[in-house]
A and B are shown apart, each in its own frame.
Chain A
């Protein structure tokens, strides 16, 4: 089945540095990818919608200059956390929608990556 690969799985960086997280669709082309952040109280917060070849659409309250999203190809979206601070430490997850012909019988083709644990020290 279709797979969304996310890398790295975990990263530790110093405060003030930038970190890039990659999200790849391995066997399909994803015109749209999504970036989530999971907060300590479990909830998944949609940060932004990444559209291939155009600017990302950010959810209200998400700083676009801090969380840079690039979707330069149909198989890769990147999230760069710029000038990271300890409060940016979190679990970041990407997801992608599969093309219609690849939808499973029930899941409507919404697939998640394995997530990235970011720790800023």
Chain B
């Protein structure tokens, strides 16, 4: 039973446009949400996160939105750049779980020049 779901395995976007990556979760105990970026043959690197007490967190071109009632979060990248092409993993964690993240299956983003 997947507690964190990324239903789109891939996304293709034109350079300069907005990329929107979606993530849904089922466990209402999750109180912290993270996005990781992964290039081929490398480990994931932390990108941005959001606490459940917020509904938006912004860091440069990256913004994460959280809709707790819908148990949904999204990562917006604007403007998208070819270097953003990677696999993006959504993760969620809870204090009760010692903040060990549960990961989604990932979405492969391709940004075309």
Q: Assess whether B106 is in contact with A44, with CB atoms less than 8 Å apart.
A: yes
Contact residues of A between 60 and 119, Cβ < 8 Å to B:
91, 93, 95, 97, 104, 106-108, 110-115, 117
B105 at interface, CB cutoff 8 A? yes
| Given A41-B105, A43-B105, A44-B106; A108-B44 close (CB under 8 Å) | no
Contact with B along A43-71 (1 / 0, CB 8 A): 11010010000000000000000000000
Q: What residues of chain A lie closer than 8 Å to B108, measured between beta carbons?
A: 42
Q: What residues of chain A lie closer than 8 Å to B93, measured between beta carbons?
A: 108, 110
B9 at interface, CB cutoff 8 A? yes
Q: Assess whether B9 is in contact with A115, with CB atoms less than 8 Å apart.
A: no
Report how many residues on chain B are interfacial, defined by Cβ distance under 8 Å: 25
B103 at interface, CB cutoff 8 A? yes
B49 at interface, CB cutoff 8 A? yes
Please report whether the interface of chain A is mostly helix, strand, loop or mixed according to DSSP. strand
Could you say which interface size class chain A belongs to? 20 to 34
- Extra pairs beyond A10-B41, A107-B34, A115-B42 (19, CB < 8 Å): A4-B43, A9-B41, A41-B9, A42-B105, A43-B104, A43-B106, A46-B103, A106-B34, A106-B49, A106-B57, A107-B46, A107-B49, A108-B32, A108-B34, A108-B99, A110-B93, A111-B46, A112-B36, A114-B42
